[in-house]
Every structure is written in C-alpha cells, then in structure tokens.
Structure 1
Amino acid sequence: MESKKNIDVDKLLSSRDESTKKASTRSLDISFNELMDMYKDGELNITPDYQRLFRWSEGARSRFIESLLIEMPIPPIYVVEDEDRKYQLIDGLQRFSSYLHLRGELDAKHLDPSVEKGQFLELRECDIVEKLNGLTFNDLPTSLKIILKRSYVRVEVVKKESDGMLRYHMFKRLNSGGEPLTAQEIRNCTIRMLSPKFMDFIANMAEEKNYRECITNISEKQEKSGFGQELVLRFFALKNDRESFKHDVTDFLTEYAEKASNGKAPFDYEKEEETFKKTFLILKKSLGKKSFGRFGVRDIGSNFSVYHFEAICTGLQTILDRIKPEKEQHIEKIKETLEKIKRDSKFQSATTGGGKNSPGPLGQRIEIVSKGLSGLQL
C-alpha cells in the first residue's frame, strides 16, 4: 500500500546524504590487553562522569570474564577520536571496567564496596565454569591468562572528522538502553560533549549550601542518581524556557540543557547564579528543609514534592527583586504566604495525584504561587 503523505523525496534523500557525510567511522579489532595498555597510557579515556555510571555487580563482572574465557561473542565497544587522536569511551563501560577490575586497574570509589587500583576481582557466580569461582587473575593458569589478554573486541571508532553533534547523539542513543541510567546521569555525560561549561555550572549550583538544606528530604537513591542536579536544571529550564515544555519533562530538560550548552539559549552565568543563590537563601530562611514538603494534618511534612519545587521556585521569581533576605519581616511574610498556599485546596489538587506532570497543571500551580506572592506588601 502506498503512503498518502506528501513527501519531498529529493529533500529527504538529500538530508539523509548530508547527515551521512558528517559521519566518519572505522572498525578495529583490539584485544582487551591492548585496550588496557591504551587506558594506562592515557590514549583511551573515560570521563569521570561516565566512569561513575559503572555499576555491574561482582557477579555480573565475573560472568563477563567467564564469557571471554569460553570465547562467547560480545558486543562492540564504541569510542570517539579527539583532535590528538586519543580515544574517549562512549559505550562499553560495563565490560571494559570489568576487565580493568580483573587486572587490578579499576578505580571506582563510588561502588559499594568501593574498588581501588591494586584490588583484583575475585570471580564469583560463574555458572558455566563453576571452578572459576573464588579465583583472581593471578590464580589462573598461564593458558587462561593468555586467552583473556588476547580476547578481541570489535571497536567502532567515530573519527575526529565527524560532526560534533553526531558524536553527541550517538553517545545519547547508545547509552539510553542497556544499564538502567537516569536521564540526568546520561545528560551529565552527553551534554559535556557539546560543551562542559553549562553542566559544570549545574553541578556547582547543586552543592550550594542553602539549596542543599532546602532539598534535604530527597532520598539517598535520588541523590546518588543525580536528582539534586536535575532539580537545578529544572529550576533554570522552567524559569527561562517554560513555554518550550509541551509533553515530556525529560525531553524538555534535555533539550534546554542542549540549547544552553550550544548557545542557542542565552545564559548569563553570573546573573543566573545570583538569582539561584538569592532564591534559596530566601527559602532556607523561611521554610528551610520543609520548603518543598506537602502540608499534613497540622504542619508541613518532612517529605519532598517535585511539584512544590517547581511551583515555589518558579512562582517566587515574580517578586524576587522586591525581597530583601536580610529583613526579617520580608522572610516572615514569605513564610506565612507559602504555608497558606500549601494549605490551599486548589494548590493541593494541582500537586497531588496522577497526570500532574504536564503543562496544564504545571501552569496552574505556578500561577497559584505567583498570585499569592505578588500581592504581598514588602
């Protein structure tokens, strides 16, 4: 059946051909031992943000090593070539890091238990060659050591001549599947391929002391997965580009980070830092760690609601210039007003239940905060 859509075939093919020209790649077969030597010599790099995404269990690492020993096929590894012709790993972190741990070359202090260079993987949970369990690389007979050293993997190289945006999109797509990474973990790696400045700024703001106190009630799991940084990104995206939020908040945040990083969205770093710090100084002084908690039976609970975060942070911008944090009466009025808003039935309706993560309810809850604050006599 022929499509009824009107398609300009020439433009479609031309666009495809133009994109293809931007990609310059080659395939190499390299042993894991060679890759390790390249890594030790600084010719193969893993960025710190990407390395922190290594999270295979010791059992998973061991079963990968077992796969190499019995010569099972393994997926390729992807790298990008920089101007100095060094390689940066963009896919294959779990496998390559497992080999580094086997050889005592892994530095992964973020793991629990942590791993440092000089610590060798003790194989466990191998279910095909069970006699491997309990052994380290140094315990293996010479023949098996050689098999591991000479185990080859296909390495797909995105050459330095390739378009920068193409390399960015390749990393993003390769790392959107496989290990269950959060959107912010992927952003921390991918956006830096466009420019590191914006994401470094987000990371720095996420450590600001007043901000940290206001988000004290996020969970440990959320903290480890980069949620604190994602909230900072959400703050600036909603403040500066809310009209671009149409459907999915994850895509909205990623697209804003892209625009801020590549210059398509103006971003005055000095001014934005001042705004961010003033916002959270006011919130720290007024509600502190209860800034984004829901109102319970008698008081604000010790919980965290992202809907409260969005509404209060964005709504507060309406009168930010009028607030003087050093004046106690200003802080007291902000505190009383925000507590009143949290008790408001319309606000509670816009911040609880399903279906609230869309432009309509978002606009409603921000509007409630904005109106509630704009009438203050300061």
Structure 2
Amino acid sequence: MGIENLIENVDNQIIKIRTKSLDVSFNELYDMYQNGELTIAPDYQRLFRWEEEKQSRFIESLILEMPVPPIFVIETEDGVYELIDGLQRISSYLHFRGERLGETTEDFLVLHGCDIVDDLNDMTFDKLPKALQIKIKRSFVRMEVIKKESETSLKYHMFKRLNTGGELLSAQEIRNCTIRLLGAKGIDFLEECCQNSDFKSVINKVSPEKKKIKYDQELVLRFFAIKNDIDNYKYPVTEYLTRYLEKMTAKDIFDYKKEKEIFDATFKFINKNWKEDAFAGKTVSGSAKNEFVLYYYDGITVSIANLIEQLKKCENVQLVIEKINEIKFGKELQSYKTGSINGVRTRIRLFEEGVSKILDM
C-alpha cells in the first residue's frame, strides 16, 4: 500500500507540471527580448557576471556551431517568457547584439580571447561579415518552457534546483531570484531592513565584496531565522535560511510589523552603544580590529532582541555594555564559535543570561 501511495504521489506531482520544448534561434530570442516577450528579472540581470573573454568564447562557439545546453523559461499568465536558467549564455548573445545588461557591461561586446579563430578578436557584431552575422543569428538552442498551467510552488522548486551552480552566485542572490516565484513580500522586507541606518552602521566592517553579493540581506535573514526558528537550525545553514525565507513568504507565520519593530529597536540599541565595532574582535592593545565576526553577530543580536523590551527600560545600560563586552572577549565564548546548533544556542544563552542578571538587579 505504501509503494502504491508513493507512485500515486509522484504521478500527481508530475501532472501539476506542464512543459513544452521549442528550438529557437538566437535571433528569435533577441527579437523576443526587445519586444518584451522574453524578460530577465532585475535581480537575475544583476547576476550576469561572465567576463568579456568568456562571453567572447561563447560567441565563438556559436559561430563554430558548437552545441549549446538548453535554456529554461517560465511562461507567465500573459504569455511572456521569464528566463530562469541560461542567463550567462543568453546575456552574452544580447550583449554582443548591443544590449547592456548587468552592472559592468558596455553597450557592445568587442570580442577578445577567442582562442580557436584568432581573427574574431576585436570584432563587434556589426564588423562581422554578413555570412557570419547570419550564421550566429540562425544558431539554435533548445528552450524548455514551464507552462503557465504549472503549479506555482512547483515552478519555484524547479527554479531552485536549476539555479544552484551558477557562476559566482551567492546563496542570497539565488534566493532573491527564486523566492519571487512564491511572492515578493519576504525579499522586499529583507531589503527594507537593510536600509535601516543603524543596521548599516553596525555591519560597516563587512567587506564591500560581500555586500555586493547581498550578504547584508543574508545577515538580516539569519537574524530572524535564528531568533524565531532555532529549533530547525541545521549546519551548513544555506538550506536552513532558504527554508525560513520560504516560510516567511508563503506561510502566515511572520508578523512583519512586529518583527520590524524588534529589528529596528535591536539595532538601534547596538549602534548606540558599539557602532561599527559591535561585531569586531580586539587587538592586544585593546583597539577594535577591522573585521566582522559572525559568531559575535549571532550571540549579541539575538540575545538583545529577546530582551529588547526590558533593555528599553533599563537604567543600568553601562553595566549591560560591560557585561556583553566581558562575555564577548571571555574565554568561555571561544569554545562555542562553530556553526553547530550547540555553538549557536550556547553563545546566545551566554549573552542572554549575562544581560538578564544585570536587568534583574
């Protein structure tokens, strides 16, 4: 009976996914993009990061009629196709045809780094001989279409599975693209929190490179996930954070107004008392290091959030500051720096118990 149910469940899920396959030319894709019939979401466009040399070699491979892996699109209610896999390849072709995508591309791709046909280097599309322009425009790629009749949650899970190995994509960037298939509320909320001036101040020592790949959003998500869903915490945390964002977006478990108030109050308290040194270690001389320490972030932010209403009324804030610094730089915390569930729970407990003793005085 169990096996029969399993087969039936699999069949039921298959029924919910409607797909079709098309062979389309790159010139058709270009026309569809220009006419708004093929879209690349802004979050997804920002992930176009192939270096121009790699783009050039892809164009060279099209001219040489090398096989191209399929691309995947989702059909929206109005019949428009949204690209969900194949970004680097499609964007390279569009760039070669003069479309500006991503954060760093120029208006036209000038080929360089072609290592099979050297004469292609320094060429633009307009400089190519007519025969080669036609050849590249007529190059075909298989397009797998997830039709609009497919269930939204299954579209999301397919998108998530396709976009797990993209070039230089951070986990948060993948979440930003995929989660919008379930709804935009969660991602928009994380971005709103990232604009909080107190939060910006206390994570100032996060490197610019990490901020570019949405690490600030991941820190906000991590704060809410650990604060509210520690029982489901698993290391490594990528899937844990993704699952919590799914819950925030698709389930009625997250009180956005209340959580924003807690977030604002927590980071206001931290910024007022430590500013950008809140999550930094210290040198032998006692000055703050230029670093952002994640295990300080977990312990301090979540413990303060859990006690924020009491802290607002506290008349011994200086004692609280001293206690947190004592725990932060104490030997006991150093034993719980790992990302294990025990490590996360214990560092939160150390800070929370230490502060509670001050508040109970």
Q: Which band: TM-score by shorter chain?
A: over 0.9
1:332 aligns with 2:318: yes
Q: What is the deviation of 1:224?
A: 1.2
Q: Does 1:20 align with 2:10?
A: no
Superposed CA offset, 1:168-201 (max 9, x none): 1111111102423211111011111101011111
1:323 aligns with 2:311: yes
Residue 319 of structure 1 deviates from its aligned partner by 1.8
Query: Pairwise mapping of residues 119-138 of structure 1 onto structure 2 (< 5 A)?
Result: 119-138=107-126
Alpha-carbon distance in structure 2 between the residues aligned to 1:152 and 1:330? 70
Corresponding residue to 1:270 among 244, 251, 257: 257
User: What residue is the counterpart of 2:354 in the other structure?
Assistant: 372
Q: Distance in 2 between matches of 1:8 and 1:180?
A: 42
1:42 corresponding residue in structure 2: 36
For 1:174, the aligned partner's letter is L
Contact 1:32 1:148 in 2 (8 A): yes
One-letter amino acid of the counterpart of residue 324, structure 2: L
Aligned position for 2:149: 161
Cα deviation, residue 331, structure 1: 4.2
> Amino acid of the residue matched to residue 251 of structure 2?
G
Q: CA deviation at 1:330?
A: 4.9
Q: Deviations over 1:283-327 (max 9, x none)?
A: 0011110111124322442311111111111111232002238x8
Partner of residue 279 from structure 2, selected from 292, 296, 305: 292
- The residue aligned with 1:115 is 105
Q: How does 1:47-86 map to 2 (within 5 A)?
A: 47-86=41-80
Q: How does the TM-score come out when normalised to structure 2?
A: 0.96
CA distance in 2, matches of 1:162, 1:242: 33
Identity of aligned residues (%): 46
2:227 matched residue in structure 1: 239
Q: Compute the TM-score of the two structures, normalised by the length of structure 1.
A: 0.92
Alignment of 1:31 onto 2:39: no
Q: 2:333 aligns with which of 334, 347, 369?
A: 347
Give the C-alpha shift of residue 350 in structure 1.
Answer: 1.4
Question: 1:276 Cα shift?
Answer: 0.6
2:75–2:147 CA contact under 8 A, matched in 1:
yes
> How many angstroms apart in 2 are the aligned matches of 1:91 and 1:346?
47
- Report matched runs for 1:303-318 at 5 Å: 303-318=291-306
* Alpha-carbon distance, 1:165 to partner: 1.3
Letter in 2 for 1:76: P
User: Which string of whole-angstrom CA distances, capped at 9 and with x for unpartnered residues, describes residues 312-370 of structure 1?
Assistant: 11111232002238x8x55433322221111221112212xxxx111011111010000
Which letter does structure 2 place at the counterpart of 1:364? T
Distance in 1 between the 2:204 and 2:21 partners?
Answer: 48
Aligned match for 2:340, one of 334, 352, 358: 358
Q: 1:189 aligns with which of 155, 177, 187?
A: 177
Equivalent position amino acid for 1:335 in 2? I
Counterpart Cα distance in 2 of 1:211 and 1:330: 23
SS in 1 for 2:83: strand
- Code of the residue aligned with 1:291 in structure 2: it is A
Q: Distance in 2 between matches of 1:63 and 1:187?
A: 29
Q: Secondary structure at the match of 2:78?
A: coil
Tell me which moved more, 333-342 or 32-41.
333-342
The correspondence for 1:216, drawn from 194, 204, 207, is 204
Q: Which amino acid aligns with 1:292?
A: F
AA aligned to 2:132 is: L
- Could you list the runs of 5+ residues in structure 1 that have no partner in the other structure? 1-6
Q: What SS does the corresponding residue of 1:361 show, helix, strand or coil?
A: helix
1:203 CA drift (Å): 1.1
> Where does residue 175 of structure 1 map in the other structure?
163
Q: Structure 1 stretch 306-315 or stretch 244-253: which is displaced more?
A: 244-253
**What is the alpha-carbon distance in structure 2 between the residues aligned to residue 229 and residue 59 of structure 1?**
31
CA contact (8 A) 1:285 1:331 kept: no
Q: Name the SS of the counterpart of 2:268 in structure 1.
A: helix
The count of corresponding residues between Structure 1 and Structure 2 is: 359
Tell me the residue number matched to 1:140: 128
Contact 1:77-1:156 within 8 A present in 2 as well: yes
Residue 24 of structure 2: SS of its match in structure 1?
Answer: strand
